[in-house]
């Protein structure tokens, strides 16, 4: 589902942020991406979402080579890849419903179908009753679950999360990770960047470790 072949990413002001990265993830796999701050985790995720382009090497997502993807297919690609951020990036003056509906607006779906899908997504994260609230009325953990609902509302085959529990306590963090496992069970491929080694070590998933832009080990297990 995701394949990196000798990928390098160089920022002009910074030098190499990723050096010779190769790995493969199969459909329905869930993996963690760990490493110190500045190791390149966000950069790697942004390459998969096509928010950045590699300097060298090839990236394949869902059978498509991102290097040769025609420009007009970029919006389609981005809808195949749900992204979840630490700060969840919700619109503060819009309802929970509107926030989750956002990725569907550009798809031209009818209002009824949008409503059905938004409620299905909110149901999956346990927030069906809060659709009329605005983000400030919600706790940190609930806000992050809205961010997750927004990422899954278009049913993307790939989900990427960048420090999704960075602002949450251990219990809420575990709930979020268990929610991710439920998506894995229905065939979604997930890559989750996190500092939370305690949580990573307590769950049985493949773990990639970046050290200063290099992939250290791909052990299959810790």
Q: How many residues bind ligand ADP (CB under 6 A)?
A: 14
Report whether 194 contacts 32 (CB < 8 A). yes
SS3 state of residue 159: strand
Residues contacting 63, CB < 8 A, separation 6+: none
| Integer Cα distance of 64 and 1 in angstroms | 9
Nearest-approach distance from CB 10 to ligand ADP, in angstroms: 9
5 vs 16, which CB is nearer to ligand ADP?
Answer: 16
Task: Lay out the site mask for ligand ADP across 159-188 (x = CB under 6 A, - = otherwise).
Answer: ---x--------------------------
Nearest-approach distance from CB 88 to ligand ADP, in angstroms: 12
Binders of ligand ADP among residues 1 to 20 (CB under 6 A) are: 11, 13-14, 17
Residue positions counted in the chain: 222
Nearest-approach distance from CB 153 to ligand ADP, in angstroms: 21
The residue behind tokens 């926030």 is 99
| Integer Cα distance of 211 and 217 in angstroms | 10
Report whether 196 contacts 173 (CB < 8 A). yes
25 vs 160, which CB is nearer to ligand ADP?
Answer: 160
Binders of ligand ADP among residues 78 to 137 (CB under 6 A) are: 86
Residues contacting 26, CB < 8 A, separation 6+: 1, 189
| Integer Cα distance of 119 and 114 in angstroms | 9
Nearest-approach distance from CB 193 to ligand ADP, in angstroms: 6
29 vs 212, which CB is nearer to ligand ADP?
Answer: 212
Binders of ligand ADP among residues 29 to 58 (CB under 6 A) are: 35, 37-43
Catalog residues that contact ligand ADP under the rule CB under 6 A.
Answer: 11, 13-14, 17, 35, 37-43, 86, 162
């Amino acid at each position: 589902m995701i394949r990196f072949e000798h990928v390098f990413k160089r920022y002009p002001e910074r030098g190499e942020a990723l050096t010779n990265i190769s790995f493969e993830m199969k459909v329905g796999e869930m993996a963690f991406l760990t490493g110190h701050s500045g190791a390149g985790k966000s950069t790697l995720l942004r390459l998969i979402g096509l928010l950045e382009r590699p300097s060298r090497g090839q990236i394949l997502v869902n059978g498509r080579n991102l290097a040769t993807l025609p420009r007009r297919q970029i919006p389609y690609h981005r809808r195949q890849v749900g992204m979840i951020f630490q700060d969840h990036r919700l619109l503060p003056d819009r309802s929970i419903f509107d926030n989750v509906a956002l990725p569907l607006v550009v798809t031209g779906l009818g209002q009824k179908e949008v409503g059905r899908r938004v409620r299905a997504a909110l149901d999956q994260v346990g927030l069906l009753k809060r659709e009329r609230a605005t983000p400030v009325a919600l706790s940190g953990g609930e806000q992050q679950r809205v961010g997750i609902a927004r990422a899954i509302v278009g049913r993307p085959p790939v989900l990427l999360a960048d420090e999704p529990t960075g602002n949450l306590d251990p219990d809420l963090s575990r709930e979020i990770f268990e929610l991710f496992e439920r998506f894995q069970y229905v065939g979604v491929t997930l890559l989750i960047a996190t500092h939370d080694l305690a949580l990573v070590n307590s769950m049985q998933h493949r773990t990639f470790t970046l050290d200063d832009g290099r992939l250290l080990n791909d052990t299959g297990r810790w």
